[in-house]
């Protein structure tokens, strides 16, 4: 490789884990002479990091490749070059088909291969259309470099950290076990080292990620197998790390130690994404969710008994094969009983290779649309009510980035709401005490209170102890 540095543009689709993966790709490419660019037109390397969860995900990728092909041709006409890579779950699922349908693609690699990206790029120069979608025996996380401090600082004061990959649940609608593989948990030592590097680069809030994050069971520093609750307690001791979150959870893996962590850890934010998918026992069984609606109700009660201000979000699928009117009414009933601060809801769409895709009991599209409208109407009503309940409340806000208006900063509340506040840009990356003055359609509006604002890099040891004693909720 020449001494001249090249540029890489990464477009990320889908979940938070893909965001994390994209960041680690750029970390891996930095020592190989690549710098990140925000503009695709002048990039030497373009990577589409794809997601297979949403409907017609593959077709969207092919459409994007058609647009990029024109950019590549224009670049080559001027004597330059552009390499195109497709990564992520669509790459894993489609493999050779991507190269067949889009010969412009130089490299296809799955989620378990990106630690080899510099080598794959070199090979693709000689073998155009290289495909690597094997599940390797080596630990990709051990092969990745430490997060680059400069890039991490540029990404802001919050960060994702993958602790677990894959899923063994085999829900009837889901492709994750096929694209991400079996459940694998990273060791505490690996996680701690990465978290420490993130904090040293200025990160103050870390969200632990996994396809089934609360199924994490990794080797602890004492040689025992730890659970997620124990890991959260361990990470909470990192100096300078002020907030912890985790996603996405399965109700069947919420053990007592993890639930109790919500009641005992001030740094663990009072917000939990706990997908249920349906409120009907018949549909839950057909989905292979391995829990009942009553199991879910008992779990929610147990969680709220240790943290009464916790906010829940969820995932819902309407129109799953065989879903009757009564099944759907059971879902609405569950939503009314639980109440959600936020939720994601979708019409069922078949994923090739999953059991539900072959069902002969597919629900008509117009029925699915009508049900989705009714469910989303209820969920929006609950979200609006939760946001309204915050009016006049004081809370600690991690100020993350500039807002759209001059003199405005944006942060996330402990309950993951977007909050806009008038404050100087010098406060970005700091935690401020604010009061919610107004509730908008998509965000809250706040003003700074007289409570001091702390910057970890500037406070004295005495102030540091005072900050750590605060309850941010």
- Among 367, 388, 409, identify where a domain stops: 388
- Do 10 and 119 belong together in one domain? yes
- The stretch 122-136 carries a mean pLDDT of 85
Cα separations (Å) of 7 from 35, 54, 75, 287? 5, 29, 14, 44
Percent of the chain clearing pLDDT 90 (strictly above):
72
- Do 185 and 43 belong together in one domain? no
Q: Which residue in 48, 123, 59 sits closest to 87, CA to CA?
A: 48
- Among 361, 388, 415, identify where a domain stops: 388
Q: Concatenated DSSP letters for 41-110?
A: TT-SEEEEEE--SSTTHHHHHHHHHHHHHHHHHHHHHTT---EEEEEHHHHHHHTHHHHHH-TT--EEE-
Question: How far is Cα 287 from Cα 321, in angstroms, rounded to an integer?
Answer: 9
3-state helix, strand, coil in the chain (%, to 5): 40, 20, 40
245, containing H or E segment: strand 243-247
Least confident span in 69-83, 221-235, 336-350? 69-83
Instruction: Provide the total of helices (H) and of strands (E) in the chain, helices listed first.
Output: 16, 21
| 297-325 per-position pLDDT tens digit | 999 999 999 999 999 999 999 999 999 99
- The stretch 367-375 carries a mean pLDDT of 98
- The whole domain housing 113 covers 6-132
- The stretch 381-396 carries a mean pLDDT of 97
What CATH number is attached to the domain comprising 27? 3.40.50.12160
Instruction: State how many domains the chain has.
Output: 3
- Do 257 and 242 belong together in one domain? yes
Q: How confident is the model at residue 3 (pLDDT cuts 50, 70, 90)?
A: low
What is the dihedral sign for C-alpha 348, 349, 352, 358? positive
pLDDT of 364 higher than 90:
yes
Q: Which residue in 275, 271, 306, 304 sits closest to 291, CA to CA?
A: 275
- Do 271 and 382 belong together in one domain? yes
| 146-199 per-position pLDDT tens digit | 888 888 888 899 999 999 998 999 999 998 888 888 899 999 999 999 999 999
Asked, for residue 128, whether it belongs to a domain, the answer is yes
Length of the chain: 473
Q: Concatenated DSSP letters for 281-315?
A: HHHHHHHT----HHHHHHHHHHHHHH-TT-EEEEE
Q: For residue 277, is it left (φ>0), alpha (ψ between -120 and 50) or beta? A: left
Query: First vs last Cα of the chain: how many Å apart?
Result: 51
- Do 211 and 332 belong together in one domain? yes
Q: How confident is the model at residue 267 (pLDDT cuts 50, 70, 90)?
A: very high
Residue 336 burial by Cβ neighbours in a 10 Å radius (0-12, 13-18, 19+): exposed
Residue 220 burial by Cβ neighbours in a 10 Å radius (0-12, 13-18, 19+): middle
DSSP assignment letter at 170: -
pLDDT of 290 higher than 90:
yes
Question: Which residues, in sequence order, are bridge partners of residue 109?
Answer: 132
Asked, for residue 1, whether it belongs to a domain, the answer is no
Question: Which residues, in sequence order, are bridge partners of residue 351?
Answer: none
- The stretch 412-435 carries a mean pLDDT of 95
pLDDT of 464 higher than 60:
no
Contact 154, 397 (CB under 8 A): no
Q: Which residue in 372, 304, 375 sits closest to 335, CA to CA?
A: 375
Asked, for residue 473, whether it belongs to a domain, the answer is no
pLDDT of 134 higher than 90:
no
CA 305 to chain centre: 27
- Do 21 and 67 belong together in one domain? yes
Written as six digits, the tokens of 5 are 């540095």
What is the model's pTM? Answer: 0.85
- The stretch 229-250 carries a mean pLDDT of 97
């Amino acid at each position: 490789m020449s001494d001249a540095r090249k540029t890489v543009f990464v477009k990320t689709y889908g979940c938070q884990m893909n965001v994390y993966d994209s960041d680690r790709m750029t970390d891996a490419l930095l020592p190989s002479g690549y710098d990140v660019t925000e503009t695709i037109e002048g990039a030497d390397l373009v990577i589409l990091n794809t997601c297979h969860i949403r409907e017609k995900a593959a077709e969207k990728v092919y459409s994007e490749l058609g647009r990029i092909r024109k950019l590549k041709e224009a670049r080559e006409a001027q004597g330059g070059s552009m390499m195109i890579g497709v990564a992520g779950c669509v790459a894993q699922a489609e493999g050779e088909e991507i190269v067949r349908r889009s010969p412009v693609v130089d490299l296809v690699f799955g989620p378990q291969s990106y630690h080899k990206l510099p080598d794959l790029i070199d090979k693709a120069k000689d073998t155009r259309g290289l495909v690597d979608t094997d599940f390797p025996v080596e630990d990709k996380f051990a092969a990745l470099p430490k997060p680059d401090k400069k890039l991490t600082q540029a990404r802001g004061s919050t960060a994702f950290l993958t602790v677990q990959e894959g899923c063994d649940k085999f829900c009837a609608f889901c492709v994750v076990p096929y694209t991400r593989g079996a459940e694998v948990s990273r060791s505490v030592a690996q996680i701690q080292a990465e978290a420490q590097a993130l904090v040293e680069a200025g990160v103050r809030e870390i969200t632990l990620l996994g396809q089934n994050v609360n199924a994490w069971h990794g080797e602890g520093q004492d040689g025992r197998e730890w659970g997620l609750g124990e890991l959260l307690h361990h990470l909470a001791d990192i100096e300078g790390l002020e907030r912890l979150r985790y996603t996405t959870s399965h109700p069947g893996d919420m053990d007592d130690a993890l639930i109790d962590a919500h009641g005992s850890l001030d740094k663990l934010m009072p917000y939990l994404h706990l997908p249920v998918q349906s409120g009907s026992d018949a549909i839950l069984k057909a989905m292979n969710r391995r829990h009942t609606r009553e199991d879910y109700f008992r779990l929610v009660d147990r969680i709220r008994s240790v943290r009464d201000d916790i906010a829940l979000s969820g995932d819902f699928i309407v129109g799953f094969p065989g879903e009757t009117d009564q099944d759907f009414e059971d879902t609405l009933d569950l939503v009314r009983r639980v109440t959600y601060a936020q939720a994601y809801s979708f019409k069922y769409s078949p994923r090739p290779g999953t059991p539900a895709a072959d069902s002969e009991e597919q629900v008509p599209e117009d029925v699915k649309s009508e049900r989705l409208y009714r469910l989303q109407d209820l969920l929006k009503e609950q979200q609006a009510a939760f946001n309204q309940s915050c009016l006049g409340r004081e809370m600690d806000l991690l100020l993350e980035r500039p807002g759209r208006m001059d003199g405005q900063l944006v942060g996330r509340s402990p309950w993951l709401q977007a909050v806009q506040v008038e404050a100087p840009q010098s406060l970005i990356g700091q935690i401020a005490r604010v009061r919610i003055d107004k509730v908008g359609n998509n965000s809250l509006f706040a003003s700074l209170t007289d409570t001091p604002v702390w910057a970890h890099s500037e406070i004295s040891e005495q102030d540091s102890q005072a900050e750590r004693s605060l309850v941010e909720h």
